[in-house]
Structure 1
Amino acid sequence: MKTLLAIVALTVAGCAHVPDPAQPAQPAKVPEILPGFLQGYLSKEALPNSLALIPPPPAPGSGAFAFDEEIMRKSLALHGTPRWTQATLDADLRFPHAADTFSCVLGVSVTQARTPYLYQLLRRTMTDAGLATYSAKDHYQRTRPFVANQAPICTPQEQAFLAKDGSYPSGHTAIGWAWAMVLIEIAPARTDAIAARGRAFGENRNICNVHWRSDVLEGRFVAAATVARLQSEPAFRSDLAAAKKELAAAQASGAKPTRDCRAEAAALAQPL
């Protein structure tokens, strides 16, 4: 099984939602493909082929690689800052922690109890977006920046796994950008804030010293292809509609995020 999934498997050590009479109160149960990872909406054959979608990674000595190196140097300067702390939080894809990644921009916490459809939607699209990166990852096997610069990363417990896992494109970025695109469909009035949070989520992989800039940029592209493909899946569209109703009800209830949104905003204001 792919390393992106194995990493999270290794680290795994509100008010009630008012149901819609036309919709079951809970989504149908979906099997796990690894501890903590639900089966996605897309079959293996339906996943976008990232190897066909994106160009080869920048070659050493090229202008594009020089830009990668410039962003790496800027990222290393943020080690130990609040932005580094936030990047460490964003690196954790375990649920329920990861469900609240966008809670500050949504204005409400996403929980299995309050918003079960949205909670499961995030878990399943995480699998789809993450796995969609692997045809390119496995082919190129790009070395990660921390291997080159020998500087610390946000999650040292994952270092041995990451060193063997291809850097290009970024799976975490694909997941974060896919989440942002899905959430924009659910909460279109918050488009700008959601998109900005999704962008920062990917950039935090640079700050963690585990991805090059081009890894992050192409991770977004793979995410866009994945979410576009998801639109053709009836199960995804049904869950998306239910999640939209859940979120509206949660926001109307006056519930607030449990994260420190002021601290998050200040951290993400530190530019890369």
Structure 2
Amino acid sequence: MRTLLASITVALALVASPLAQAADEAKPFATAKEIDLLQILPPPPANDSAQTKAELGEVLTLQVTRTPEMEKRAQADVVEDVWRFAEVIGSPKFNRESLPKFAAFFDRVVATEGAVVDPAKDTWKRPRPHQVSDLVKPTVKISNSGAWPSGHTTVGTLMGIVLSNMLPERRAAIMARAWEYGNNRIVGGIHYRSDVEMGRISGSVIAQTIAQQDDFKTEFAAAKAELRSALGM
């Protein structure tokens, strides 16, 4: 009996694993070799600069003025995937199970952000607000990786641009959500505003660059067709 139960457990794990591991195993469309942010973005301001001090003040102000709803949304946006746009898509079919081609495509889009941004963050190593001031109490999961540029903002902007290119009829709502996604990193107390601004530039550059690639074009077309069909468009 124990052997049978063990076999069933393993079988179930094998069935579930493709969905759980898909994003982690996705191949990025580009890496820092193709898109070198060190050659595109300026270096971050110094910790004792007037700009950093002003931005730290904004983080501390938000810390005492953010509402429970703002905190809740910032915490939810810690997740880095395209399903965070569900509220502006407004369809029960907007999920991984219903859109396998779309999901696999966006797994690659998300993987591209890390492949491009992480090397730059590791080089610049800008400390996050809570590392500079003990007064900062983030309301989201703590991260101690480099802050410049914001990876969450980069991927949010990148996903927003690509998704809105699939659904141009909803571009305004999608990009507004992408902007909120980035801004929630400031609300959450984990990033400065300039980190977010650099993330928006990075996401835009990545979107424009990978859109020229043949493999991106092929997978984009299939994902777009699947999405629009599921939404009845």
TM over 0.5: yes
Q: Which TM-score band applies after superposition, normalised by the shorter structure?
A: 0.7 to 0.9
Partner of 2:89 in structure 1? 106
Q: Can you give the 5+ residue segments of structure 2 that lack an aligned partner in the other structure?
A: 1-17
User: TM-score under structure 2 normalisation?
Assistant: 0.82
Equivalence map 1:88-107=2 (5 Å): 88-93=75-80, 98-107=81-90
Correspondence 1:45 to 2:29: no
Question: Between Structure 1 and Structure 2, whose CA radius of gyration is higher?
Answer: 2
Q: Which runs of 4+ in 1 moved over 4 A?
A: none
Partner of 1:6 in structure 2? none
In structure 1, how many angstroms separate the alpha carbons of the residues matched to 2:94 and 2:187? 26
Partner of 2:226 in structure 1? 246
Partner of 1:265 in structure 2? none
Correspondence 1:233 to 2:213: yes
- After superposition, the CA RMSD in angstroms is 2.2
Residue identity (%):
25
Q: Deviations over 1:180-221 (max 9, x none)?
A: 010111000111111100000001111111111111100111
Secondary structure at the counterpart of residue 231 of structure 2: helix
In structure 2, how many angstroms separate the alpha carbons of the residues matched to 1:71 and 1:86? 19
In structure 2, how many angstroms separate the alpha carbons of the residues matched to 1:230 and 1:237? 9
Q: Deviations over 1:169-189 (max 9, x none)?
A: 111110100000101110001
Which has a greater percent of helix?
2
In structure 2, how many angstroms separate the alpha carbons of the residues matched to 1:76 and 1:218? 22
In structure 2, how many angstroms separate the alpha carbons of the residues matched to 1:185 and 1:52? 27
In structure 1, how many angstroms separate the alpha carbons of the residues matched to 2:32 and 2:117? 12
State how many pairs are aligned: 212
Equivalence map 1:1-272=2 (5 Å): 36-43=24-31, 45-46=33-34, 48-79=35-66, 81-93=68-80, 98-108=81-91, 109-150=93-134, 151-156=136-141, 159=142, 162-163=143-144, 165-252=145-232
In structure 2, how many angstroms separate the alpha carbons of the residues matched to 1:222 and 1:79? 27
Q: CA 1:244–1:59 in structure 2 vs 1: closer, same or farther (change >3 Å)?
A: same
Which shifted more, 236-245 or 178-187?
A: 236-245
User: TM-score under structure 1 normalisation?
Assistant: 0.71
In structure 2, how many angstroms separate the alpha carbons of the residues matched to 1:99 and 1:37? 16
Q: CA 1:246–1:35 in structure 2 vs 1: closer, same or farther (change >3 Å)?
A: closer
Q: CA 1:138–1:200 in structure 2 vs 1: closer, same or farther (change >3 Å)?
A: same
In structure 1, how many angstroms separate the alpha carbons of the residues matched to 2:124 and 2:31? 23
